[in-house]
Chain A
Amino acid sequence: MFANETARYLASRLVTTVLIVFGAMLMLFALTTLVPGDPARTLLGPQATPELAQRFIAAMGLDQPVHIRLWRFFSALATGDLGVDVVSGRPVWTMIRDVLPYTLILTFASLAVAVAAGVPLGIYAATHRGSWMDSGLAFISVAFIAMPSFVVAIFLLLIFAIWLDWLPVLGASRSGEFWDEFKRMILPTAAIAIGWAGYFARLMRSSMLEVMGEPYIRTARAYGIAERLVTYKYALKNACIPAIALLGFGIGRVLGNAVFIEVVFARPGIGRLIYEGISTRNYPVVQGAVLVMVVLVVLVNLAVDLSYSAIDPRIRRDGAAR
């Protein structure tokens, strides 16, 4: 009974996923035709002869009519070919593969830290509502949420890397040695995690307070279930659902905004790859990297939706997210 429902649910989610990725690909293709700025001129500089520019345009396939380019674009993607960097000639996929782990680790590490700090703080604030800790946490959370992560990043750098000189300033580890890279990860991770920890704390607090007012919590108390069990078993599971939604949203946002942190800390990453691709009109790089990003975000959201249905049995029956 359940297996069938789950299968149908998965199938419908998969169809949406494919549609979103397809839409993203179309928009990426439109980028090359609609965005102003001549890639040949940007890359080759004003001194380029018209012949050279012409050759370059032909090499990129930009002289072909739209439908031919569309066909080439999709047929190449279908075989997993993301094209080559128009400057260096390196395959785009290799370039992405080299920097993607940095962005992924940064994203997951910072959100893991944010959840690990924000969720317990939010539960504490909800269960000690009105205490000075609750008010203090509210103030700090809102302050952290309001500060852009790159501002936090600059302050962290100033304090911990320059004044105190406890941690390395910039970059990723060249040696690839674990402790070196770990130390270099601390500040970028903290810069992202601080604001998100504030989000999670605020969300968990309001979500816990709402759930604690539900009739089923009253039932649990009416039957003398220990308050600890009421909070951490009966209430927490219900209160987690919005936090999981925020996590899904957060992963997308942090991936998309990774560029700020990667630029401030001079770290490699997919955000920086896209940023540099855009500034040089290096379309294959931009297209490939954005596509990989879109697929990642969509997959993360799929995983989030699946974890909802693992937690909330009502979603399994309805077949769609509520």
Chain B
Amino acid sequence: MAAPMVSIQDLVVDASTSRGTAHLLRGVSLDIGRGRILGVVGESGSGKSTLASAMLRLLPPNISRLSGQIRLDGLDLVALAPAEMEAIRGRRVAMIFQDPMTALNPLFTVGLQLIDVLRRREPGLRRADELKQAEAMLATVGIPDPRLRLAAYPHQLSGGMRQRVMIAMALMAQPDLLLADEPTTALDATVEAQIVELFDELRQRFSGSIVFISHHLGLVAELCDDLCVMYGGVIVESGPVTEVLARPRHPYTRALLDCEIDDDASGRLASIPGDVPDPLTVLTGCVFAPRCPHAAPRCLQGQPPLMELEPGRRAACIRADEVLP
């Protein structure tokens, strides 16, 4: 098997807050295959956005610790100097943000913002060629009248169109790794469906790997090859998306799936009893144990590692073989 595009080893991210040290990522290890789409799901606060920000090294200023490895094609991003990291951003790694309303600069035209990204990859192009490329990219992401839209300001476009512009910007960078942090959460349901469709089309022509962060399991099922479930700053389960959803091996994944199913049946939002773990606490047992219906005394003796249960399937549960075979 070919080496993965991204290999993350024991990634720890802590932040200092007024209440103490928050453990945002508590030792995350993860591989992202070449050309694959990895879906990352989890409740808010599970660390999925922190994981994406860490891959770009764009963490908030209150971060007190960043340790472990993030290897992009063998290159450890954690160890890079800031200037070296700047060279990676927008060329080898690009990101699409959650809220397209605020992610684009309101005072500059769409064309200018796209061209500034293009110049990172191809400096010294003639103006006419730059415009032509930007226009072609807007057409690729399904924006009508792309030539006209180049001169538009973000506020003149709808939310869906702005997110298409963000996607165009990401594709302009031709990255090896594309991070999409809940790219449809801020959009209406119908627009969301269109953007998902666009992602589905793009995966045909895009050769890099994609990380698609979402709290929507159905969407991930539709779009992704692999799935990684996060909870309380920990990856609790990973594997091919169809297998994980058909037969989860971690009680948290099971509970998430039950929520989705209950949603469809009664129309009421089902939820998992209990609260998400406080990032300030230091883990002494399994992160999910306080909410887990299968918790046993030995579950409280430490956070279990992410174990390979069968080829390609991993879960961080010491009772996986007993309770979810």
Per-residue 0/1 for B48-90: is the Cβ within 8 Å of any A Cβ (1 yes, 0 no)?
A: 0000000010100000000000000000000000000011111
| Contact (Cβ within 8 A) B88 A224 | yes
Interface of A is mostly: helix
**CB < 8 Å: which of A214, A223, A237 contacts B94?**
A223
**Within B168-187, which residues are at the interface with A (CB < 8 Å)?**
169, 173
* Nearest B-chain residue to A312, judged by Cβ: B107
* Nearest B-chain residue to A317, judged by Cβ: B155
By a CB distance below 8 angstroms, the chain A residues around B103 are: 215-216, 218-219
Q: Is the C-beta of A264 less than 8 angstroms from some C-beta in chain B? A: no
**CB < 8 Å: which of B90, B102, B104 contacts A224?**
B90
Q: Is the C-beta of A8 less than 8 angstroms from some C-beta in chain B? A: no
**CB < 8 Å: which of B86, B88, B107 contacts A313?**
B107
| Contact (Cβ within 8 A) A313 B155 | yes
Q: Is the C-beta of B120 less than 8 angstroms from some C-beta in chain A? A: yes
**CB < 8 Å: which of A217, A223, A237, A313 contacts B153?**
A313
Q: Is the C-beta of B44 less than 8 angstroms from some C-beta in chain A? A: no
By a CB distance below 8 angstroms, the chain A residues around B91 are: 224
By a CB distance below 8 angstroms, the chain B residues around A317 are: 155-156
| Contact (Cβ within 8 A) A238 B106 | yes
**CB < 8 Å: which of B86, B97, B108, B169 contacts A218?**
B97
Say yes or no: A238-B86 contact (C-beta < 8 A), given A225-B116, A314-B153: no
| Contact (Cβ within 8 A) A313 B106 | yes
Say yes or no: A223-B169 contact (C-beta < 8 A), given A229-B116, A313-B155: yes
By a CB distance below 8 angstroms, the chain B residues around A227 are: 86
- Complex Cα spacing A30 to B97, Å: 60
- Complex Cα spacing A311 to B107, Å: 7
**Within B95-113, which residues are at the interface with A (CB < 8 Å)?**
95, 97, 99, 102-108
| Contact (Cβ within 8 A) A223 B106 | no
- Complex Cα spacing A221 to B95, Å: 10
By a CB distance below 8 angstroms, the chain B residues around A216 are: 102-106
| Contact (Cβ within 8 A) A234 B86 | no
What is the interface size of chain B, counting residues whose CB is below 8 A from a CB of the partner?
28
| Contact (Cβ within 8 A) A223 B155 | no
A318 to chain B, nearest CB (A): 9
Q: Is the C-beta of B221 less than 8 angstroms from some C-beta in chain A? A: no
By a CB distance below 8 angstroms, the chain B residues around A220 are: 105, 116
**Within A196-242, which residues are at the interface with B (CB < 8 Å)?**
214-227, 229, 234, 237-238
| Contact (Cβ within 8 A) B102 A223 | no
Q: Is the C-beta of B117 less than 8 angstroms from some C-beta in chain A? A: yes
Number of A-B residue pairs, CB cutoff 8 Å, is 74
By a CB distance below 8 angstroms, the chain B residues around A215 are: 97, 99, 102-103
By a CB distance below 8 angstroms, the chain A residues around B156 are: 313, 317
A74 to chain B, nearest CB (A): 43
- Complex Cα spacing A220 to B86, Å: 11
- Complex Cα spacing A317 to B105, Å: 16
Say yes or no: A223-B105 contact (C-beta < 8 A), given A218-B58, A317-B155, A317-B156: no
A128 to chain B, nearest CB (A): 14
**Within A82-124, which residues are at the interface with B (CB < 8 Å)?**
none
| Contact (Cβ within 8 A) B86 A226 | yes
- Complex Cα spacing A311 to B91, Å: 30
| Contact (Cβ within 8 A) B97 A219 | yes
* Nearest B-chain residue to A225, judged by Cβ: B116
- Complex Cα spacing A314 to B107, Å: 8
Say yes or no: A223-B104 contact (C-beta < 8 A), given A313-B153, A313-B155, A317-B156: no
B107 to chain A, nearest CB (A): 5
By a CB distance below 8 angstroms, the chain A residues around B99 are: 215
| Contact (Cβ within 8 A) B107 A238 | yes
Say yes or no: A314-B87 contact (C-beta < 8 A), given A215-B99, A223-B94: no
B82 to chain A, nearest CB (A): 9
**Within B129-180, which residues are at the interface with A (CB < 8 Å)?**
153, 155-156, 166, 169, 173
* Nearest B-chain residue to A240, judged by Cβ: B107
**Within B13-60, which residues are at the interface with A (CB < 8 Å)?**
56, 58
* Nearest B-chain residue to A218, judged by Cβ: B58
- Complex Cα spacing A216 to B166, Å: 11
Candidate in B88, B90, B107, B117 with the most chain A CB atoms within 10 angstroms: B107
| Contact (Cβ within 8 A) B95 A222 | yes
- Complex Cα spacing A237 to B108, Å: 9
| Contact (Cβ within 8 A) B58 A221 | yes
By a CB distance below 8 angstroms, the chain B residues around A214 are: 102
- Complex Cα spacing A82 to B97, Å: 61
| Contact (Cβ within 8 A) B86 A224 | yes
By a CB distance below 8 angstroms, the chain A residues around B95 are: 219, 222
By a CB distance below 8 angstroms, the chain B residues around A217 are: 105
A287 to chain B, nearest CB (A): 43
Can you name 21 A-B pairs with beta carbons within 8 Å?
A214-B102, A215-B97, A216-B105, A217-B105, A218-B103, A219-B97, A219-B166, A219-B169, A220-B105, A222-B94, A223-B117, A223-B120, A224-B87, A225-B90, A226-B86, A237-B108, A238-B107, A312-B106, A313-B153, A313-B155, A317-B155
The 3 closest A-B pairs by CB, nearest first: A224-B90, A223-B90, A224-B89
Known: A219-B95, A313-B107. 18 other contacts (CB 8 A): A214-B102, A216-B102, A216-B103, A218-B97, A219-B103, A219-B104, A220-B105, A220-B116, A222-B58, A222-B89, A223-B169, A224-B89, A224-B91, A225-B117, A234-B105, A234-B108, A313-B156, A314-B153
